Homo-oligomer: A and B are copies of this chain.
């Protein structure tokens, strides 16, 4: 293990100088710099994380974390809880504070200027020096920051990707792949000749459901020509889940050969229970996405849902913080721009 001290001794300079060279801060005489870099290279210097970590508390790092707090989005609740726990247990010991900013989509639409102003104020006053933002509003927030002259704060997005200036990385799943995986499951369930109905609780323009459907269809084309999508039904606003159920029932009457139902965007999945209760339609295989509430787990366990595709919500909360910590505290740049979460298949036996 070679330390900064070893380099300093060998180069005949002080540790401070070595530090300056290795972190490009301050000016150092060019020959010395060359020499130090060469020696560091030769010795194969690797900075010691424990040491860096201890010293990092001098930097007073404060990270802001914007999350969706709407109670109809339990998936984001899991992200939030994971992030909170990680912040307390792993980051606090390094002197890093994480400030959480709840964000409710419905409130926001009514009153977004207020929220934005509060946010800007908080970022300023709390001297936030890094941000984790749910992708959905990442682009917008970055604009707002820029308009207020605080454009240099490094960003990590999660759950949905956006092309934002200053973005360090994105953490989230590949939705198209998720759709392909759903198709693969449908094939497995039906000897490759499923008749699939796709239902989604959104207007069909959300990145997540849109790309899932794209992937599903691509997989049909490329691999399972016998699979058919008998119908797609998108709806952003249902008053009652029973309305949706009625729709689905009609869909199934129109297509009596339908044997797989794919819920491309999560609702509360109570639809699945309704389907199982109605005798007729009870042998259709149901594929969903995400598994966060106890109720959903139960449905997978008891076969109400046949298979579900998960995308590591915990990682979506934790990894962005880790990336930002590595960057701000340890000076380590992320290895990739897109940290893909794993797509795992859950059935009754491995929920």
Contact = CB atoms under 8 A, between A and B. Distances in A.
Contacts of A344: 342, 344-345, 350
Given A177-B350, A345-B346, 15 more contacts: A1-B92, A1-B93, A50-B94, A53-B53, A54-B54, A184-B347, A184-B349, A188-B188, A188-B189, A191-B283, A342-B344, A342-B350, A343-B350, A345-B345, A345-B350
Interface of A: 1, 46, 48-51, 53-54, 92-95, 177, 180-181, 183-185, 188-189, 191, 219, 223, 283, 285, 306-307, 342-350
B184 A348 contact: yes
B349 A46 contact: no
A187 to B, nearest CB: 9
A164 B113 CA distance: 64
A116 to B, nearest CB: 33
Contacts of A348: 184, 223
Contacts of A189: 188-189
A346 to B, nearest CB: 8
Contacts of A345: 344-347, 350
Most chain-B Cβ atoms within 10 A of its Cβ — which of A189, A345, A346, A349?
A: A349
Contacts of A307: 188
Contacts of A49: 93
A185 B93 contact: no
A349 B285 CA distance: 19
